[in-house]
Amino acid sequence: MKLPEPLGPYSHFKVFNGMVYTSGQIPADNILDIKEQTRQAIENLSNVLKMAGSGLEYVLKTTCYLKSMDDFGIFNNVYAEYFKNKPARACVEVARLPKDVMVEIEAIAYIPEK
């Protein structure tokens, strides 16, 4: 699995003491609705976590950035499909996101012992 190049001088993730810290993941910029943007951002996050040896089921905390809190309900519905373990979460509205997308999600997860 190959991840796209970061948009700036950062890594998609860092691992320290069995923990994974991800950078914010955004959807492709050609998706127009919040539902599909949320789905794509979470799929991208899942791919980053897998590369680090973790997965969505091991996420302890997410930070979610929305362009509009008017999208909060739709965002929550999609988010709940993926995060059955209900990690701790912060969700805030921001003025603007990279590539003018509607959502960005970052996470902290652990790497399970094999």
Q: What CATH number does residue 69 fall under?
A: 3.30.1330.40
Q: Does 59 map to a domain? A: yes
Distance, CA of 55 to CA of 45 (rounded, Å): 9
Structural domain total, the chain:
1
Per the structure, the complete domain to which residue 76 belongs is given by: 13-110
pTM: 0.94
Residue 5 lies in a domain: no
From the list 15, 51, 74, 91, the catalytic residue is 91
Q: Could you tell me if residue 6 is inside a domain?
A: no
pLDDT of residue 1: 67
* Structure confidence at residue 28 as a pLDDT band (50, 70, 90): confident
How high is the mean pLDDT of the chain? 94
**H/E run at residue 46:** helix 34-51
Say if residues 7 and 71 touch (Cβ distance below 8 Å).
no
pLDDT in tens, 41-87: 999 999 999 999 999 999 999 999 999 999 999 999 999 999 999 99
Active-site residue, 64 included? no
Q: Find the largest Cα–Cα distance for the chain.
A: 42
User: Does residue 79 lie in a domain region?
Assistant: yes
**Does residue 6 have a pLDDT over 80?**
no
69 within a domain of the structure (yes/no): yes
